[in-house]
Structure 1
Amino acid sequence: METIIEVKELHKKYKKRKTKEIVKAVDGVSFEVYRGEILGLLGPNGAGKTTTIKSICGLLKPNGGSVHINGYDSDKQRLKALNYISAVLEGNRNLYWRLTARENLEYFAGNRGVGRKEVKQKVEDLLILFNLKEKENELVSSLSRGMQQKLAIAVALLADTEVILLDEPTLGLDVETSYEVRELLKRIVKEQGKTIIISTHDMPVVQELCERTVIINNGKVVADEKVENLIKLFESRAYCFTVSDELTQQQITAIKSHFPIYEISDQQIEITIERENDLYIMMDILKSEQTNIEKIDRTSVDFEQVFMKLIKEGQENDRALASS
């Protein structure tokens, strides 16, 4: 697959104002974005995801590493690199609320050096594509959040860049509008061959739209894999034990010490195994108190569970390293 964005060994440090403590927001982040894909860029709050996004968009200069967009270094060849990417950051903030929907499209086309006559048909097409034609002469401030979000994406498309970065494109939208936005994004990739990077906390969006995901935690990449492969991996490692007896405190302590990823509720114990003999260890823990096992099931997972498990594993590993 052809690479259109390469993020290599990205580093960014901040100094806290009050304590002057140095904080590593991004610590050696590396990944690639392939032409024509929808990539999910994920991470919990404070993980370094926003710093990475701003570095890709040229809004932030990293302390180390590089970002190449279509072969151009975004630091040394900034203008050439940024000609290939447009972004919708923090929802719909790239709109002027005192302009109408049509005026916003015309204004931002002018910002890109495109004349009003030249862009007239494209504005018309985008208004129709995003179901905004009936609202074209209404002020953005009077539009619903869903319409504002669709208009923000239309403005990003107007630049006709190869890459579009969307920060939380479905945040605050109702179910119907969220579905409409997802369908539009699928259509844009299929018909126009765009490359889309989606930063979101909406895991169903990732599972439905993204073929691949990059997950960042504590300033590092903890996963770079196809969504389908990650789900299969955790399905093969996740087991649910249904028991007829209540667990003793000793058993609960043993489960917690042996299994970093676990969930205990009522008479069900869900574990994620990492080694072949983990399953037998679990059986021994239950056998130690003669706990009756009613059934053992492989647990089906969705991407939200995968995401939480990866983050939890990363936190457990960080704690282990800190204590060693």
Structure 2
Amino acid sequence: MEKIIEVRGVSKQYTKRKTKEIVTAVNNVSFDVHRGEVLGLLGPNGAGKTSTIKMICGLLQADAGSIHINGLDINKKRLKALRHISAVLEGNRNLYWRLTVKENLEYFAGNRGRSRKEVIEEVDKLLEQFHLKEKENELVQGLSRGMQQKLAIAVSLLANTEVILLDEPTLGLDVEISYELREILKQIVKEENRTIIISSHDMPVVQELCDRTIIINKGTVVVDEKVENLLNLFQTKAYSIKLGERLNSRQKEELLLTFPLSTYTENSLQAIVDVNLERSEDIYKLFDIFKMEATLVESIDRTTIDFEQVFLQIVKGEKQYAIV
């Protein structure tokens, strides 16, 4: 596949104000983004993900390495490179609050060199698509957070760039608006050949929309793989064990110590252990815990694992998974 973004050996350090300690936020990070794909860029807080995003958007300059967008070096030809990418960044004011919904769309299109006449049909289409038509003449400052977020994404689409970067697109939204926005994004992915980079802690967004994911932890890339492959890898090791009686306190303590990502639920008659086994032979460790009190095992079933569990397993395991 054709590469539209190339990140090569990028590093970034910061100096703490009080202690003057040098902290490495990003350490020799490299990856590619292919034209037309939807890429998830993930990482826990403090992992270096936000710094990486800001360097791609030209808001931070890397201390080492290079970033090319559509073949253009962002350090040497910054303005030309950034013409190929639009971004909605979490924590930034991406709209003008004293303009109406429609005026924002027209204004930011104009900033990209597109006339009002040129975009009039696209503006109407986006207003309908994002369910903002009834609000088109309202000031942005009076909109809910969810509507503001939908408008910001519509503005980024109207820029007509090859790459769109969405940083935490569903953060702070209620369940209904978050679901609605996911459905809109799925429609956009299906209908338009855009390259989309999504940074999110909302794992359903990643699982439903992304083709591939890059996970950054402690400043380095620990995973660069298709979402489907990651789910398949962990799927074969996810089990639900139904027990005929409850575990005692000693067994529960040993379970969480040996399998920290396992879950244990119980009622007056039975208990269920949901566990993700890193290695096939770990099943013997699990049964050793049951044998401590001769706990009756009623059934063992394979279970479906979601991407949030995969993400936690990788980050807490702090290891890179090589998938062929």
TM-score, normalization by structure 2: 0.88
How big is the shift at 1:274? 2.8
Shift in Å, 1:135: 1.9
Indicate yes or no: 2:314 matched with 1:310: yes
Q: Deviations over 1:79-121 (max 9, x none)?
A: 2211110001116721010111122122212222333344444
Give the equivalent residue in structure 2 for 1:322: none
Contact 2:237 2:280 in 1 (8 A): no
Would the aligned equivalents of 2:28 and 2:65 in 1 still touch at CA under 8 Å? yes
1:54-99 CA-to-partner distances (Å, cap 9, x unmatched) read: 0111111111222111121111221221111000111672101011
Corresponding position: 1:34 with 2:34: yes
- Give 1:174 shift: 3.3
Partner of 1:104 in structure 2?
104
* Structure 1 segment 70-219 matched on structure 2, within 5 A: 70-90=70-90, 93-219=93-219
2: CA distance, partners of 1:55 / 1:23: 17
Q: Secondary structure at the match of 1:193?
A: coil
Q: Which runs of 5+ in 2 are unaligned?
A: none
Q: Give TM-score scaled by structure 1 length.
A: 0.88
Task: Tell me if structure 2 keeps the 8 A contact 1:260–1:313.
Answer: no
Moved more, 74-83 or 261-270: 261-270
2: CA distance, partners of 1:236 / 1:243: 21
The 1-side partners of 2:59 and 2:26 are apart by: 15
Any idea what SS the aligned residue of 1:179 has?
Answer: helix
Deviation per CA, 1:16-58, whole angstroms, max 9, x where unpaired?
1111112111122222212112111111211111111101111
Is 1:272 matched up with 2:276? Answer: yes
Runs of 4+ in 1 over 4 A off after TM superposition: 245-261
1:287 aligns with 2:287: no
How many equivalent pairs are there?
Answer: 316
One-letter code of the match for 1:57? C
1:163-205 per-position Cα deviation (integer Å, ceiling 9, x unaligned): 0001111223333432332232223233321111111111111
Q: Which segment drifts farther, 195-204 or 269-278?
A: 269-278
Name the aligned partner's letter for residue 171 of structure 1: L
Q: Which runs of 5+ in 1 are unaligned?
A: 319-324
In terms of fraction of residues, the more helix-rich structure is 1
Larger mean Cα displacement after TM superposition, 184-193 or 230-239? 184-193
CA RMSD of aligned residues (A): 2.4
Q: What's the % identity of the aligned pairs?
A: 65
Shift of 1:248: 5.5
Match 1:298 to one of 287, 291, 302: 302
- State the shift of 1:287 in Å: 2.5
Q: Secondary structure at the match of 1:94?
A: coil
Deviation at 1:252, TM superposition (A): 5.1
Distance 1:298 1:190, change over 3 A: closer
